[in-house]
């Protein structure tokens, strides 16, 4: 873009800019730096997400029936409930190729990922065709009236042919002690938001947390902090609006969808020209 065009675009944006929003946000500690008990950080593996739509609240659980090494083993398979129920859409936890296993029932599929990783989904209906290439977050089936008790999705993560502890949003969940039940409430970060079509330079008015995603009634997952005075490139349009707050995407690596984390808009001050993203 030539300088005249950039200047015109900057002027247009200045004339149409949203009024400053007086918002406050309590900065949560960086969870990646201080993991909660029972959770370890997975740094060099694919970034798996919960196999449900962005923002879905899910209760993951396991118990002795999921012991992988018989009595006294460590549970690694998960059942997923609340609100997933019969008819709820199931999406891929990570991109790959759908494979059917002839030794398993028609309500089970695998998605084969890179580097020997594979995820398994059971108690489903309407599964996609064998050999289908899917992206993370793409529909692969629906929760069906299978399994015991409340309707749910059975999920497993495998690496090089062996079941391993499940991983979601960059964390490994090491479940209960041998033979003990375990459950935890999570929210899906299996999100996909397009990058902005216009980007601008901003300065941080104050320290601001970088958020993977934000959802109503729950704390934010964070990816560290941007310090006051730091300059960043962020999207001018394509904002995320949640709970009455406005967020802008910072165009660096990170975020639940790997397209950049979100920063609350009131903490950003536009300082430079804008241009096509």
pTM over 0.75: no
Contact 129, 84 (CB under 8 A): no
Give Cβ neighbours of residue 256 (< 8 Å, ≥ 6 apart).
49, 54, 169, 189, 190, 191, 212, 213, 221
> Within its chain, how far is the Cα of 261 from the centroid?
11
* Better-predicted residue by pLDDT, 209 or 147: 209
Q: What angle do CA 209, 212, 217 make, to 5 degrees?
A: 85
Dist CA 26 CA 222 (whole Å): 11
Does residue 263 have a pLDDT over 80? yes
Dist CA 251 CA 257 (whole Å): 12
Question: Count of alpha carbons within 13 Å of 129, Cβ hemisphere only?
Answer: 3
Q: 275 has which bridge partners?
A: 199
Q: What is the per-residue pLDDT for 178?
A: 60
Dist CA 190 CA 187 (whole Å): 9
Length of the chain: 277
**DSSP SS3 for 47:** coil
Contact 54, 192 (CB under 8 A): yes
Residue-wise pLDDT tens digits, 175-200: 665 656 778 888 787 876 656 788 99
Does residue 201 have a pLDDT over 90? yes
Domains of the chain: 3-34+192-276 (2.30.30), 50-187 (2.70.70.10)
Question: Count of alpha carbons within 13 Å of 78, Cβ hemisphere only?
Answer: 29
Q: What is the per-residue pLDDT for 48?
A: 93
The candidate with the shortest Cα–Cα distance to 89, out of 131, 134, 47, is: 134
* Better-predicted residue by pLDDT, 68 or 155: 155
Mean pLDDT of the chain: 75
Minimum mean pLDDT among 48-52, 79-83, 107-111, 207-211: which range?
A: 79-83
> Within its chain, how far is the Cα of 139 from the centroid?
15
């Amino acid at each position: 873009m030539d300088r005249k065009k950039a200047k015109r675009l900057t002027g247009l944006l200045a004339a149409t800019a949203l009024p400053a929003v007086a918002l406050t946000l309590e900065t949560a500690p960086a969870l990646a730096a201080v993991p909660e008990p029972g959770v370890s950080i997975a740094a060099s593996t694919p970034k798996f997400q919960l196999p449900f739509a962005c923002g879905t609240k899910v209760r993951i659980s396991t118990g002795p029936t999921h012991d992988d090494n018989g009595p006294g083993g460590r549970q690694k398979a998960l059942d997923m409930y609340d609100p997933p129920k019969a008819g709820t859409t199931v999406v891929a936890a990570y991109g790959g190729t759908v494979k059917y296993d002839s030794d398993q029932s028609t309500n089970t599929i695998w998605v084969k990922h890179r580097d020997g990783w594979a995820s398994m989904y059971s108690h489903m209906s309407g599964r996609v065709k064998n050999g289908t290439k899917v992206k993370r977050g793409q529909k692969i089936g629906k929760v069906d009236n299978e399994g015991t008790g409340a309707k749910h999705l059975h999920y497993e993560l495998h690496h090089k042919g062996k079941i391993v502890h499940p991983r979601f949003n960059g964390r490994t969940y090491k479940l209960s002690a041998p033979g003990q039940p375990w459950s935890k409430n999570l929210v899906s970060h299996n999100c996909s938001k397009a990058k902005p079509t216009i980007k601008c330079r901003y300065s941080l008015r104050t320290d601001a947390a970088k958020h993977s995603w934000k959802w109503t009634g729950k704390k934010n997952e964070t990816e560290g902090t941007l310090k006051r005075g730091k300059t960043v490139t962020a999207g001018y349009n394509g904002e995320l609006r949640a709970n009455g707050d406005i967020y802008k995407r910072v165009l660096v690596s990170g975020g639940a969808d790997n397209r950049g984390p979100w920063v609350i808009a009131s903490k950003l001050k536009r300082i430079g020209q804008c241009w096509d993203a």
